[in-house]
Chains A and B, each alone.
Chain A
Amino acid sequence: MLQLNNVSFKPQGKLLLDQVSVSVKAGEVYGLLGPNGAGKTTLLKAISGDIKASGSIKFYGKELTQWNRRELAKHLAVLPQASQLTFPFSAREVVALGLTPLSLSKAQANKLIDEKMSATDCCSFADRSYPSLSGGERQRVQLARVLLQLSQASHSPLLLLDEPTSAQDLGQQHNLLTLTQQLAKKEGFGVIAILHDLNQVLRYCDTCCLLDQGQVSAVNSPDKVLSDERIKEHWQYQPQRVILNNGQTALI
């Protein structure tokens, strides 16, 4: 669904993305990882159109810049790391902002809002003011909003997650990543997520892309990418491996 070809970004002479070429399929959770300053967020911004990078970014075979804004919004959504929203919207009103690119009757809209809020476990604080919510609650509200935004997609939509678990506690992190995994498997979403926790990458991602200094250093399934040598090379850390009861590996 998404193909990047030789994408580079060099603001003020500083090369932040260097000839990045990757592709993401519908139905897969695609992890972006790498040390700080590797270019993960920049790459996500290039895909979401927040920065204009050189090279080609095709979404369903069509350059991103050629897409109609509203059509693109129905198929590609970004879960922000933190929102600037300080005005006292209720959580439900924030979710309803996801209706912006859609055309729905009021009854349909209300039904979908309820559906997305219960999928992200936001119903208990639907009427509370958004600025009064905790970081984790806010992020779930934002997730419900972007899911609503993608609810009228005619092809499998693409969801971009910028460090989705940074404000969540352990249980919430698990719930959120399980939900995105289900979206990929059951509804065919493509999901690109920036993740810092390598165990989350191992557990939830189908493919991962290791970036360093703006370049793609490796792309493959997480267990192949995350070799001890690579972790040592890119994070200057020697991990230990533990085999879990279910046969999976965990890094310590």
Chain B
Amino acid sequence: MQRSVSICALALASLLIACALLSLVLGAMNLPVYDSLLIVVDDLFGANFSQLEGYQQVVVLELRLPRLLLSIFVGAILAQCGAVAQGLFRNPLADPGIIGVSSGAAVGAILAIVVFPAVWGSWTIPTMAFVGGLLTTLLVYGLAQSKNGTSVLVLLLAGVAISAFAGAAIGFLSYFADDASLRELNVWQMGSLTGASDANLWLAFTTMLLLMIAFQRRAQALNALLLGEPEARHLGIDVEQLKLQMIILTAIGVGVAVSCSGIIGFVGLVVPHLVRLATGPNHHFLLPLSALLGAVLLMGSDLLARLVVQPAELPVGLVTVLLGAPFFLILLIQQRKNWS
């Protein structure tokens, strides 16, 4: 077990580095690898090694680097939130996107954009996205709880209902939005990493760190929770408190991810599932490895999104949905026998 975890971690770290390098140099404008790396070093240490032209430096430092960092942070956040949501609901189909939490967060974000753009300055959108995500998580959780545990059927149907409601709310708000807001709304609906600003990056980075530490500290409790709530309680865990903490942290994660990059679906579903296949469901390993694979997957998807229709680009949310939806279907088929 330990060995497969180390191999996975090493493979994913290498993949992350390779993917990051490719993201820096490939795109509508292809750049030399060595100089592109050097310019990042120059920027960090105030040196002057790189031979890149001024406009090329702008492409690397102001466009590609922030975007690739944002993809790492958001990917890691989404994948961890997915892993925790699946543990909390004790079901591998519980992805914040599928059960409607991302939609709820998006409604919050869009309300912030259209209705009250500047109440709390740059915190308005993340805060509203968090509130939207939190309310949705609590609603879905309340609906899906039954005497016999969590009902998958209710979970997924609640997701359908909330996504539909969110779609309508977003449509309604778009109808009243002005042109500038409208463009922003589009980005939110499809998911895009083009909005990588310093403020976004810091917010996403801090959230990623916070979640990694907080989730890792609860890894053993999350493992015990997979046995069932009474069993976890008999093992000395304050189950109600644990659930509340996980719901709030997941909502913060999804809220921040949505406010930085819109709705990016299926990362939280696909990633923990793949990691479980490789190293099992133990949260001690599942959480950090999911963060790594989430970062790789989102960065890779964003690279694809930038490359396939050059010089234009696809919203990265479309790419993750194209990759994730078939995967979801395969999971459903596998689980079908448990449902009848």
Binding site for B on A (CB under 8 A): 48-50, 69-74, 76-78, 80, 83-90, 93-94, 97-101, 149
Contact = CB atoms under 8 A, between A and B. Distances in A.
Interface in B190-221: 220-221
B235 interface: yes
Interface string B225-245: 011101101111110000000
A100 B235 contact: yes
Contact of A78 (B90, B230, B236, B276): B230
A86 B233 contact: no
The CB with the most chain B CB atoms within 10 A, among A69, A71, A97, is that of A97
B281 interface: yes
Given A48-B230, A50-B233, A86-B91, 9 more contacts: A78-B234, A84-B228, A85-B227, A87-B90, A89-B226, A89-B281, A100-B220, A100-B237, A101-B236
Nearest to A67: B236
B282 A69 contact: no
Given A72-B236, A73-B235, A50 B230 contact: yes
Give the size range of B's interface with the partner. Answer: 20 to 34
A246 B257 CA distance: 72
Given A89-B281, A90-B280, A84 B227 contact: yes
A87 B226 contact: yes
A80 B231 contact: yes
A77 B39 CA distance: 60
Contact of A49 (B220, B233, B237, B280): B233
Contacts of A80: 228, 230-231
Given A87-B281, A100-B224, A149 B276 contact: no
A97 B220 CA distance: 8
B181 interface: no
Interface in B45-63: none
The CB with the most chain B CB atoms within 10 A, among A49, A89, A99, is that of A89
Interface of B: 1, 90-92, 149, 220-221, 223-224, 226-228, 230-231, 233-238, 276, 280-282, 338
Contact of A83 (B220, B221, B231): B231
A84 B149 contact: yes
B235 A101 contact: yes
A97 B223 contact: yes
B234 A77 contact: yes
A77 B1 CA distance: 28
A87 B272 CA distance: 12
Contacts of B224: 97, 100
A73 B231 contact: no
Contacts of A83: 227-228, 231
A93 B280 contact: yes
Nearest to B223: A97
A73 B233 CA distance: 8
Contacts of A70: 236
Contacts of B227: 83-85, 94, 97
A90 B1 CA distance: 10
Contact of B236 (A48, A69, A94): A69
A70 B234 CA distance: 9
Closest A-B pairs by Cβ, 8 of them: A73-B236, A101-B236, A87-B281, A84-B228, A70-B236, A100-B235, A69-B236, A78-B234
Nearest to A80: B231
Contacts of A78: 230-231, 234
A95 to B, nearest CB: 11
Contact of B282 (A50, A84, A86, A89): A89
22 contacts: A49-B233, A49-B234, A71-B236, A72-B236, A76-B234, A77-B234, A78-B230, A80-B230, A80-B231, A83-B231, A84-B227, A85-B228, A86-B338, A87-B92, A87-B226, A88-B281, A90-B280, A94-B227, A100-B221, A100-B223, A101-B235, A101-B236
Contacts of A50: 230, 233
A72 B235 CA distance: 9
A83 B281 CA distance: 16
The CB with the most chain B CB atoms within 10 A, among A85, A88, A99, A100, is that of A100
Contacts of A85: 226-228
A88 B280 contact: yes
A100 B236 contact: yes
Contacts of B220: 99-100
B48 to A, nearest CB: 50
A99 B226 CA distance: 15
A71 B235 CA distance: 10
A48 B226 CA distance: 19
Contacts of A49: 233-234
B216 to A, nearest CB: 16
B280 A89 contact: yes
Contacts of B149: 84
A73 B90 contact: no
Contacts of B236: 69-74, 100-101
